[in-house]
Structure 1
Amino acid sequence: MSKDTRSGEVVDETRRRLLAAAAGGVTVGALGTGATGGAAAEDDGTLTLVHDTHLHGRFEDAGNEAIDVARYYAVVEEFRGEYPNAAFLGNGDDLAPSVLGLEFEGEHMVEALNEMGPDAVGAGNHEFDFGVDTASERFESSEFPWVIANLLTPEGEPVPGAERWTTVEVGGHTVGVFGMGTTGFYDITDYPDDWRVLGYAEAAEAAVEALESETDFIVCASHVSSGVHETIAAVDGVDAIVGSHSGVVYEEPETIEGTTVAEFGDEFDHIGRLTFDVETGELSDWERVDLYDSEALDEDESPPESTENFTPRDVRSVDRNQPVAEIADGYLSDLEERLGQPVVESEVELNASFDNYEVETGWGNLMTDLMRGVGNLDEEIDVAVQNSGGIRSGSRYGPGELTGSDVMNILPFPNEIVVYELTGEQVRSYLERSVRPMPGDYGAQPAIQVSGVSYEWTGHDGEGQVRNVWIGGEPLDPEETYLVSTNDFVAGRSDEFVEESRVFNSGQFQGPFVKDTLDAEYDTIAPEREERMIRVDEVIEDPTVEGSEGTLTVSFGPTDAVASVVEDTYRLVAPGHGTVAASSVSAGDEVVVELAADAVVEGFDATEADALSLVGGFDPNSEHYGYETEDGEVIELPVNASYDYYELRTSLSADDVRATVGGDDGSDGDDSTDGDDSSDGDDGGDGDDGSYGSDGSDGDDGSDSGGDGGETADDTPGFGPLAGAAGVSGAAYLYEKYGASDGSDERTADE
């Protein structure tokens, strides 16, 4: 659970995740629970499935090394011993993404899984992060079958080294298992464009047709989003679906079209057990084990409570499986020798959790600022953009030392930093297209981190919208060109980044680049949030502006969307030059905001803007927005775990301000500030004194969130080489214009 720091309320994050799953299109009926069973005889007509894997190439939980693969497998072994008719099934994303995955390309996980001996594993998208050839090598070296029914070679054959489906003998029963991967494979991993991806229903029907005559029970080891399970379950003959691409934790198994569906999360926090009556195909009993660490509990925090179907297990009381532990410890020791040394000291907490989908974070600002320093181009890189799914560890770090291993866990993908020349309109298009619905379509998230640019975004109308885009402290010019740094995963999947506009290939993966830059150029860092991405849920038109005795007073009537205002959040934003915090806010029939008049004028002088935004928080009227569950219940807002409130904006014109409080008609603003400690990040530290940022904190109070986000291009990053050589005329011109540095991909017109 996370705590609302403003109200003191405790927010149940599990409930939010379940709402997201329910709103994702799954029509479900809760199953009744049964008593926990004892040891099953081999001829008692039952079948037990133990699931999931989804290990992400890790040997330890991202936030707690005591919750590890050796203890996880020890619990799996207990189930196998208690239920002789048990099959252990995985659902993929086991080889990557993680720093271990990047270093060993999945070889480490195959060795561990061979020791664990799953009966079958459904292949996920991250099995292909290092290319099909490497994936096939890992599949072929596995002593268990990998299955995926809907991915085929151009000739219609299964993925080399894998199978579309398989059969498993469990006691006296034959179990058919087929895998299913997201149809968005081309967008989220390194999967060849000419390979075939079948639709979910088509692949499931083919699997059932091949398996039903020789099996007693058919299971889908799923690596698709939760909402797709309705399509698979509608295929007659599928008895159960376990796992997903989404990492959702269900409170209990569900039925869809008579098919049992169980999703119990990912990595090492949960293990599921489902026991079926084979003759009827019905679920007779189930259990979810939740692993926790008693030594990590707060002083006033109680251990999770056991119920009929939930079994909390303190990992401190679980003995590690020694063969698996020896494998894991060997690789971790090797990794520690390579990357375990500190690279920088952080004075603030660094938020590398999935909050990066929803809000600007200090970590996002830090890494994108560094990306603007890649290479040695003749002109400064104006903007950097990073897909939030590429910030992957799901953890927070510091204050304190940040090691090389920490950085590589945050940025575990083999994604190369590249630089493109885009028009202002293309930059705007990319920012707007990146705003996407939250899972369940109730609200939106920006889904990127940025540097050099600031903008306002909203997403309540079904499509993302951005406004007031500024680059380098000046309004965006749609016809101007800007240098934009990103990674080749983003560039290869975004219409705005075309080959002819590519300026520079750095030849450097993001993780090693950020690690080496921090190590070489900084002793300490303290990145802040800096109003680079401003959420706007409501726009208030035509405020009243008055002034007296050095105070500017702005008043406006709230809309029906506003239940109450959050008084300490109001500020005037001068893009690239900081903010002016309100000195007083009161609310009645009107909202009245007071600001220091001189600071407001300085903000207009610095930006030379015709208008600036006054932004502040409000508690939303949930009835006004009308987001509902499938049962028609109004969803209490905000749902985004990273937000305690929504935000409104009203606009102050320079003419109104100057007419009210006086002041000149603007200046060049080069040396002006508004008295606030914020900056646009460009001057966050040049390395001369070995520091970066200010003494502020990241300010990210939200807990992990972000969800699956559907099967779209930027949701889940992967390895994607550039699509091909740049066009001759465009690329040759750009390389000549901007120059090439060491490590660049220099080209001539003859290539």
Structure 2
Amino acid sequence: MLRAGGIVLGGSFVSGSATAADGATTLTVLSYNDIQTAAAEDKNFPRLVTLIEQRRAAADGPVVVVGGGDQVGPHALSPISQWRAPVDVLNEVDPDADVIGNHEFDYGFDPISDVTADSGFPWLATNLVDSETGDAFDGTESSEIVNRGGVSVGLIGLADQGATTGKTNIDFEAEGVTIEDYTETGPAEAKRLKEAEDVDAVIALAHTGIDDAELLAEADADDDIDVVVVGDDEQRYPPEAVDGSIISEARARAAFLSEIELTIEGGEVTGFDGRLIEVTDDIEKDPTASQIINDYRAEVSLDSPVVETETPLNATFGANYHRETGYGNLITDAMRERVDADAAITNAGGIRSDSVYGPGEITGGDIFNTLPFPNTVVSLELTGEELVETLESQVITLESETGQSFGEEISQQTSGLRFEWVPHEDADELVRDVYVGGEPLDPDETYEVAVNSYIANGGSGYPLEDKVIEDTGELQATTVVNYLEEKETIAPEPEGRMQRVDRDLPDAAVTVDGNGKVVAQFDAPDDVESVAEDTATVWTPEGDHLDAEHVAFDEGDERLVVRVDDGDLADTVEDADDGDELPLDLYAEYESSEYEQIYFERSRLNADLTATVRRRGRGRAGPPGR
């Protein structure tokens, strides 16, 4: 039974004072997770090293230091150091154990043994076992027991399907590894450690994300797992009692350190206190850690400027998973140009660092930090039908489990393409109205598409295996750097390449003659409660767009009226001839009575417009002599 603040809580935790009573010991658990891109920067990582030493020194009793996985990748130094830069720094930390996460497999399956051999601490993989022996696979351990200050602590390492087969290209079955159910293996190993090894506390290093860590706590019926240190989904989750276990996650990229103080009394955990400590700029950098990182950086001149940007380069997860970004456009434009392809696609998860760069000077290190994987640029041949299937593979619907947590997502960035995506389970098509190079997609036509090698091999669920026609062998980051070095300044912005649509308005026809106003009226769907006037925009297939000058919605008769300036609209289709009929799209955001958006502020409407061009009265010059 656990006790917080000296009060018995009937088997459940409440955070409070963990001051040890007579005969009790305070065990401090320090943890971090998902170091990733911070491993290549002389910023937070050396400060985290200092903070760990400070909290070790301040502890009132024994200390255990552990990691939650995803420490050795991805980062900007991986092309030259692979796992070595982060491992060299972590060896200075001298943790008691870490857990194998999906990014520990960034360099392949066999190099895991090299990672663990170079580490001065054990890497745990309790539920990733040798299919023949049932032991932890080569280079890893099933568990670790730490005896310190009269306290015995059992450590186990767990990963779920999402952090193994879901986020790597490793064929675990072919490698002779079985992925056991972490909710069964974890509690069973915790029970063994407590009963057979007589440990006082069990800490699970769980590279599962918070939701699955809570499932682990729920599955641990006898409450043998006292603490769950979480990694993978990179949440800021201060220590909290859940179903008899204390769960904590320190976000990612060395931004926080989790500190949990356990009261150990009579061979069991009886109380706790905990917090997340932010890694701030006023914490001094550990000089050895800084030197390790800077020595590696010097080998590849990561601090040299390559271009000036007039607009921000947004490498945040939230932006790149949910919508088109200027930086995503730049990356895919560089890829498409590199192989002279019709289109280019890159996965949102391959754009890292979760930071924004510029406006201002951009260095090579900035690019490698945002594209840290050793992925090369690859050229494929896809039919139009296969191209649509590829784009659809990344749409996350609002109704899905992921959509209910993070909102509807497009999960990729593209070049040479324009299309609409409809993120709902009842949609007839998840991706529609696709244009390639400004022309409607032909399902039977063959298109050359540039991608990175990770998704070419089926990563992130892309259906692209066995379609490669050329691997350039050039790193994706190098391709982008080379592309930028040819330019003095850049100003990438969203161009309407990927248009989100939740509901459709009826089709409409308008005439564009350059005089007066163009007015379109629509019967709105039943779930429209209001329309945001400043969001209505008309787009051409080429990416030109015009904001509406007036929008009116009558909730009583569910009537939507949109007005644009005819002269401005005519300018957007200036290359069209008299009598031409052009496809246009109207988009507008609205408050929905049906869709409860998780990420986006509002839902989005679309109407297909057919614009007939009339040039009379526009003064267009004719042939000489007229």
Unaligned runs of 5+ in 1: 1-28, 293-314, 628-636, 665-751
Change (3 A) 1:266 1:83: farther
- In 2, Cα distance between the equivalents of 1:650 and 1:452? 23
1:535 equivalent among 497, 500, 513? 500
Residue of 365, 370, 377 corresponding to 2:334 = 370
Instruction: Describe the superposition over 1:228-281 as per-residue Cα deviations: whole angstroms up to 9, x where unpaired.
Output: 12332213422221122111112551312x222122312222111112233453
In 1, distance between residues paired with 2:350 and 2:406? 23
- Find the aligned partners of 2:125 and 2:230 in 1 and give their Cα distance: 14
Matches within 5 A, 1:468-507: 468-493=433-458, 494=461, 496-499=463-466, 501-507=467-473
Q: Deviations over 1:307-326 (max 9, x none)?
A: xxxxxxxx32x333344344
Q: TM-score w.r.t. structure 1 length?
A: 0.72
**What's the Cα RMSD here?**
2.8
Instruction: Quote the offset at 1:135 in angstroms.
Output: 2.4
User: Residue 401 of structure 1 aligns to a residue in which SS?
Assistant: strand
* Aligned ranges 1:310-709 → 2 under 5 Å: 315-316=281-282, 318-332=283-297, 334-335=298-299, 338-354=301-317, 355-375=319-339, 380-437=340-397, 438=402, 440-441=404-405, 443-461=407-425, 465-493=430-458, 494=461, 496-499=463-466, 501-519=467-485, 521-542=486-507, 549-589=515-555, 590-597=559-566, 600=569, 603=573, 611-618=583-590, 620-621=591-592, 623-625=593-595, 627=596, 637=597, 639-640=598-599, 643-652=600-609, 654=610, 657-658=611-612, 662=614
Question: How many aligned positions are there?
Answer: 578
Q: Write the deviation string for residues 194-249 of structure 1: whole angstroms up to 9, x where unpaired.
A: 13222222431452354232122111111112221233221342222112211111
- Partner-residue secondary structure (3-state), 1:650: strand
Between stretches 484-493 and 269-278, larger displacement belongs to: 269-278
Which residue in the other structure is 2:213 paired with? 229
Look up the match of 1:285. 273
Aligned to 1:189: 168
Measured after TM superposition, the shift of residue 101 of structure 1 is 2.9
Aligned partner of 2:85 in structure 1 is 108
1:272 matched residue in structure 2: 258
Partner of 1:199: 181
Asked if 1 retains the 8 angstrom alpha-carbon contact of 2:238 and 2:274, the reply is no
Say whether the 8 Å CA contact 2:523–2:560 is kept in structure 1. Answer: yes
| 1:65-117 deviations in Å (ceiling 9; x for gaps) | 65x22322222223222232221111111111111233211112222111111
> Residue 48 of structure 1 is aligned with which of 28, 47, 50?
28
TM-fit CA distance, 1:597: 3.6
User: How does 1:129-148 map onto structure 2 within 5 Å?
Assistant: 129-148=106-125
Contact 1:95 1:110 in 2 (8 A): yes
| CA distance in 2: counterparts of 1:282 and 1:267, whole angstroms | 32
Pair 1:147–1:322, CA change in 2 (3 A): same
Shift of 1:387: 0.1
For 1:173, the equivalent position in structure 2 comes to: 151
Please give the alpha-carbon distance, in whole angstroms, between the structure 2 residues aligned to 1:225 and 1:269: 17
Report the Cα offset of residue 600 of structure 1: 4.8
> How far off its partner does 1:338 sit?
2.2
Offset at residue 535 of structure 1 (A): 1.1
Give the match's secondary structure for 2:144: strand
Find out whether 1:246 has 2:233 as its counterpart: yes
- The alignment partner of 2:366 has SS state of helix
Amino acid in the other structure paired with 1:366: L
% identical aligned pairs: 32
Mapped partners of 1:152, 1:512: distance in 2: 37
Among residues 186, 190, 193, which one is paired with 1:211 in the alignment? 193
Contact 1:240–1:259 (Cα < 8 Å) also in 2: yes
User: Structure 1 residues 131 and 43 mapped into 2: Cα distance closer, same or farther (>3 Å)?
Assistant: farther
With a CA cutoff of 8 Å and minimum separation of 6, indicate the structure with the bigger relative contact order: 1
Where do residues 60-139 of structure 1 align in structure 2 (5 Å cutoff)? 66=43, 68-81=44-57, 82-139=59-116
Report how far residue 591 of structure 1 moved.
Answer: 2.6
Q: TM-score, normalised by structure 2?
A: 0.85
2:230 maps to a residue whose letter is G
Give the drift of 1:615. 0.8
Matched-pair contact (CA < 8 Å) for 1:339–1:403: yes
Contact 2:14 2:241 in 1 (8 A): no
Q: CA deviation at 1:416?
A: 1.4
Determine helix, strand or coil for the equivalent of 2:107: coil
Contact 1:469 1:476 in 2 (8 A): yes
* 8 Å CA contact 1:604, 1:612 repeated in 2: no
- Could you list the runs of 5+ residues in structure 2 that have no partner in the other structure? 1-10, 617-626
For the residues of structure 2 that align with 1:121 and 1:168, how far apart are their CA atoms? 13
Change (3 A) 1:179 1:644: same
Cα distance in 1, alignment partners of residues 463 and 69 from structure 2: 32
User: In structure 2, the residue corresponding to 1:444 is in which secondary structure?
Assistant: coil
1 CA distance for matches of 2:91 and 2:457?
A: 35
Which whole-Å deviations, capped at 9, do the CAs of 1:446-505 have from their partners, x for residues lacking one?
Answer: 000001111111213377812211111111111111111101211211563241x32211
* The 10-residue stretch of structure 1 (413-422 or 279-288) with the greater mean CA deviation from structure 2: 279-288
Q: Could you tell me how far apart the structure 2 residues matched to 1:462 and 1:585 are?
A: 29
Counterparts in 2 of 1:425 and 1:604: CA distance versus 1, 3 Å: farther
Deviation at residue 329 of structure 1 after TM alignment: 4.1
